Amino acid sequence: MAQTSNAPIGIEMQRAHGIYLFDVQGKEYIDGISGFSVANIGHSHPKVVSAVQQQVSEYMHLIVYGEFIQQPQVAYAKLLTDYLPATLNCVYFTNSGTEATEGAMKLAKRITGRTKILAFHNAYHGSTQGALSIMGSEYWRNAYRPLLPEVYHLVYGSDAAIEAIDNQTACVVVEMVQAEAGIVSPMKEWLQALRAECAAKGVMLIADEIQSGFGRTGTLWAFEQSGIVPDILLLGKALGG
């Protein structure tokens, strides 16, 4: 298999349950990473295992687009929107968080007819070509240039970021908590100002809660704590975990 880390841990895991991982020698580990925020309710939860087994016995993959009604998918979308503000009432499922980022960027361009995108230093949004373009660290993107044009990186939480929003901007992509930067949260007043300026300029505010969503910050969605509602919300990790 392709090596994805310069320093692989090299532990061969056999099974996982709750917060524990077990290697092939039976040694027990506490999983403090939770599959990079995926295993929000622990590993191999019996209700999740049962639900997966039941669904697999009925059908697995059919068609990814809208030709067929797949009731479990519809039911999950409805459940999500029941716990979201009224304006976040349409769900588009993808395979991963980075694809959610790609879809949001495309949607913002389509809605606004603009191409300029604002993102932030030290942000993490995924590793595909488009998502990598708005990634906020040169460490991740240096080997893959040229990336998408008209992407501008600003300082997270700064006044300059608010001032950079103009009538040519399609979207601002912002994490409610910057995880890869070391768990950095902005002042709620800054997020409110960001929300107001986006609304004034017809810019889509995209909230990336791929890591922070599903109760990881004390509320179901981190954006609730600042009293804002994004135009587009990115979910992942715990969504499928």
Specify the CATH number for the domain of residue 114: 3.40.640.10
Kindly state whether residue 72 falls inside one of the protein's structural domains. Answer: no
pLDDT at 13: 95
| 27 and 138 housed in the same domain | no
Question: What per-residue confidence (pLDDT) applies to 50?
Answer: 97
Please report the pLDDT score of residue 63 as a whole number. 86
> Is the residue at 70 inside a domain?
no
Distances (CA, A) of 102 to 2, 60, 98, 230: 24, 25, 6, 17
Quick check: 21 pLDDT over 90?
A: yes
- Structure confidence at residue 232 (pLDDT): 98
**Residue 196 within any structural domain of the chain:** yes
Residues 162, 223, single domain; the answer is: yes
pLDDT the model gives residue 129 = 94
Q: What is the pLDDT of residue 226?
A: 95
Q: Give the pLDDT band of residue 2 (cuts 50, 70, 90).
A: confident
* pLDDT classification of 87: cutoffs 50, 70, 90: very high
How confident is the model over 122-177, as pLDDT tens digits? 999 999 999 999 999 888 888 999 999 999 999 999 999 999 999 999 999 999 99
**pLDDT band with cut points at 50, 70 and 90 for residue 74:** very high
- In which band, very low, low, confident or very high, does the pLDDT at 183 lie, cut at 50, 70 and 90? confident
Cis before residue 72, ω within 30 degrees of 0? Answer: no
Under a CB-based contact definition with an 8 Å cutoff, are residues 200 and 227 in contact? Answer: no
Number of helices (H) and strands (E) in the chain: give both, helices first: 8, 8
Q: In terms of residue numbers, what domain contains 25?
A: 13-56
Residue 62 clears pLDDT 80, i.e. is over it: yes
- Whether residue 62 is contained in a domain is answered as no
Write down the residue that tokens 């929300």 correspond to: 195
Residue 159 neighbours by CB under 8 Å, 6+ apart: none
Domain co-membership, 43 together with 126: no
Give yes or no for a contact between 58 and 87, defined as CB atoms under 8 angstroms apart.
no
Report the C-alpha gap between 85 and 146 in whole angstroms. 38
The pLDDT value recorded for residue 166 is 98
Q: For the whole prediction, is pTM greater than 0.85?
A: yes
> What is d(CA 95, CA 101) in angstroms, rounded to the nearest whole number?
11
pLDDT of residue 47: 95
pLDDT band at 189 (very low <50, low <70, confident <90, very high): very high
Q: Name the 3-class secondary structure at 106.
A: helix
**Has residue 231 been placed in a domain?**
yes
Are residues 221 and 156 both part of a single domain? Answer: yes
Whether 148 and 52 map to the same domain: the answer is no
Alpha-carbon span 158 to 33, nearest angstrom: 30
Say whether both 113 and 219 belong to one domain.
Answer: yes
Spatial CB neighbours of 184, under 8 Å, sequence gap ≥ 6? 122, 156, 157, 177, 178
- Of all residues in the chain, what percent carry a pLDDT higher than 90? 84
Asked whether residue 109 falls in the same domain as residue 192, the answer is: yes
Q: Among the listed ranges 17-31, 64-78, 144-158, 218-232, which one has the minimum average pLDDT value?
A: 64-78
Residue 122 lies in a domain: yes
Mean pLDDT of the chain: 94
Both 40 and 99 in one domain: the answer is no
- Work out the average pLDDT over 183-200: 95
Q: Average pLDDT, stretch 51-71?
A: 91
| Phi, psi (deg, nearest 5) at residue 62 | -120, -95
Residue 113 lies in a domain: yes
Total number of domains in the chain: 2
Mean pLDDT over 49-67 rounds to 91
- Site of tokens 């191999």: 44
Task: Look at residue 116 and tell me if it is in a domain.
Answer: yes
CA–CA separation, 215 and 241 (whole Å): 13
CA dist 137 and 47 (Å) reads 39
